[in-house]
Amino acid sequence: MQQLVLHESQVQINGDLLMLDCYPLTQSMGLNAFSHLLCETLATRPLELEQGADRQQCHFSFANSRWVLCIEQLCEAVWIEPLGAADLNNLRNTLLGLS
C-alpha cells in the first residue's frame, strides 16, 4: 500500500480548514489518484468525487466524521474541510504519521 508522505510544514490548520501544501503533486496525479492515495493513508476510501470547471472535490469519512478534500486550480490550493463537527488535529496528526 502506497502512503502519502507530507512534512509538518505542508499540513497546517487554518481556522476550520486543514491546508495541504502539495498542489503540484495533486496536479500531476489528478483528483482520482491523489484522493485514493490520501484515503489509503487514512485507512478509508473515497465516497464521492466531484469535478467542476475550477474545483475538484472528494468526500470521505475518517474518525466518525465526514470530510471533503478540495483542489482549487485558480488559486493552486489544496485543503480538507470537515462537513460538521470534527477533530482537525486528529486528521493532521494521522496524515503526518504522528498518531
Contact between 29 and 19 under an 8 Å Cβ cutoff? The reply is no
Tell me how far apart the alpha carbons of residues 88 and 97 are, in angstroms, rounded to a whole number: 14
How far apart, in whole angstroms, are the C-alpha atoms of residue 37 and residue 52?
Answer: 21
pLDDT digits (tens, 9 = 90+) for 36-87: 999 998 999 899 999 988 889 999 999 999 999 999 989 999 999 999 888 8
- The pLDDT, as a whole number, for residue 30 is 86
The pTM of the full predicted model, rounded to 2 decimals, is: 0.89
State residue 99's pLDDT score: 64
